[in-house]
Amino acid sequence: MREGTLLYAQSGGVTAVINATASGVIQAARKRKVRVLAGRNGILGVLREELVDTSSLDAAAVKGLAHTPGGAFGSCRFKLKSLDADRARYERLLAVFQAHDVRWFLYNGGNDSADTALKVSQLAAASGYELACIGVPKTVDNDLALTDCCPGFGSAAKYTAVSVAEAALDVAAMADTSTKVFVYEVMGRHAGWLAAAGGLAGRGPDQAPHIILFPEIPFEEATFLARVRATVDRVGYCVIVVSEGLHGPDGRFLAETGGSVDAFGHAQLGGVGPLLAGLVKAKLGVKVHWTVPDYLQRSARHLASKTDLDQALAVGKAAVAYALAGQNGVMPIIQRLTSRPYTWRIVPAPLEKIANHEKKMPANFITPDGYGISAACRRYLEPLIAGEAPPPYGPGGIPAYVQPRLKLLRKRLPAWDPAAH
């Protein structure tokens, strides 16, 4: 094996278990005596040459990362464009790699990050700089191609299923004189995976959730309202799970804020829950409550899925193994072998087949009426939320999450000039 440094960076929205992947990376690299640097705030930290020296973290801190949500080294929303459009930035990355003898680059993110990792590897090859680039999967949206599921999703899915089940018991108890319709808004811009997870809270037409609104299915107001009314009449109350990405027949997001976009060029969403609640109240005249868990659903490490945690650790360890074995332009993905019992393994997949693809729910995962999940979907989802992996709690009653002090390496290059690069 050649000498060199391994660089790890987190990208995009963090999850309950992305730090577990980081922990897996550091543990695996230490076993192989390889030094690990981490980008401070993701790829931006690499451009700025703000690199964390993880060798200053003791074993307890590295272990503690596996039960700590958020992104310990910082993440960022910062998308590099094509090699042609952003060449100066890609070259800056390579310059930083060279300055610190980085020979293995592990980029932990979604499909945008897979694209960046792929382009960095192409530029390195063209420049004759020996570098292995590995994408490491992560996203609560579960929308990466090829892999059976994405680390981070299982825990957010478990949080959603449990929270819907709990809130539904509350609503059921009060419906006689109080709230009759409850709206639960989940994340998921274009893919309804988290909305589907809400469906695990119950079974059959009378158990909550009674209606799931997927981004894959255009919203029809009249049909929806009729279904809410029928459910309230039949069951006494109605629990609705709605994806933030719900859109109308015209393709526009219901909650579109009108031109506000994030750094990746996606429309910034939020608020379809209260919007639907207002609609139901106005049209049906019943008492409505709504919730928007927002970041709680992707940071709820206290309710992590054991399956998800195991997979998050495994992809981190596999990424190191692939890198050190000289694999390049690949991502360790999860391959399902059987559903019942659930068995899986990690295998490498080419980044070019993952970059910029977005995996939506297959049509057969949604019931024909468009408002629920099918048996096939349940069979797919259930193992992903199975098992509990609670963090240790402190005497004060909250989890003992770690917040390691980050020691930055001394810079070796001139400061990065975002305007010039």
Spell out, one character per residue from 184 to 223, where the chain touches a second copy: x when CB under 8 A holds, - when not.
----------------xx----------------------
Q: Which of 249, 259, 396, 414 binds a second copy (CB under 8 A)?
A: 396
DSSP state of 200: G
Q: Which of 187, 303, 331, 373 binds a second copy (CB under 8 A)?
A: 303
CB of 226 to a second copy, least distance (A): 25
Q: Is 399 in the site for a second copy (CB under 8 A)?
A: yes
Whole-angstrom Cα Rg for the chain = 22
User: 411 has which bridge partners?
Assistant: none
Q: Is 224 in the site for a second copy (CB under 8 A)?
A: no
- What distance in Å separates the CA atoms of residue 124 and residue 132, rounded to the nearest whole number? 9
Q: Which of 6, 7, 9, 14 binds a second copy (CB under 8 A)?
A: 14
From 312, 404, 316, 307, select the one nearest 24 (Cα to Cα). Answer: 316
Span from 99-107, 143-151, 226-234, 389-397 in contact with a second copy (CB under 8 A): 389-397
**394, 68 Cβ separation under 8 angstroms:** no
403-418 residues labelled b (16+ CB within 10 A) or e (exposed)? ebebeeeeeeeeebee
- What distance in Å separates the CA atoms of residue 401 and residue 414, rounded to the nearest whole number? 36
Span from 71-79, 95-103, 117-125, 406-414 in contact with a second copy (CB under 8 A): 71-79
Span from 51-59, 219-227, 284-292, 362-370 in contact with a second copy (CB under 8 A): 284-292
Q: Is 110 in the site for a second copy (CB under 8 A)?
A: no
CB of 271 to a second copy, least distance (A): 7
Nearer to a second copy, 271 or 370 (CB): 271
Q: Is the dihedral of CA 66, 70, 73, 78 positive or negative?
A: positive
From 181, 290, 280, select the one nearest 221 (Cα to Cα). Answer: 280
Span from 91-99, 177-185, 216-224, 241-249 in contact with a second copy (CB under 8 A): 177-185
Q: Which of 24, 209, 293, 316 binds a second copy (CB under 8 A)?
A: 293
User: 244 has which bridge partners?
Assistant: none
Kindly report the number of other CB atoms within 10 A of residue 125's CB atom: 14
Q: Which of 190, 321, 382, 421 binds a second copy (CB under 8 A)?
A: 382
Q: Is 142 in the site for a second copy (CB under 8 A)?
A: no
Q: Which of 54, 68, 121, 231 binds a second copy (CB under 8 A)?
A: 68
Residue type, 118: L
Catalytic residues: 141
Q: Which helix (H) or strand (E) holds 306?
A: helix 306-324
- What distance in Å separates the CA atoms of residue 123 and residue 400, rounded to the nearest whole number? 42
Q: Is 365 in the site for a second copy (CB under 8 A)?
A: no
Q: Is 375 in the site for a second copy (CB under 8 A)?
A: no
From 167, 175, 170, select the one nearest 235 (Cα to Cα). Answer: 175
- Give me 322's structure tokens: 């692939």
Residues 20-59 that bind a second copy (CB under 8 A): 41, 44
CB of 119 to a second copy, least distance (A): 19
Q: Is 86 in the site for a second copy (CB under 8 A)?
A: no
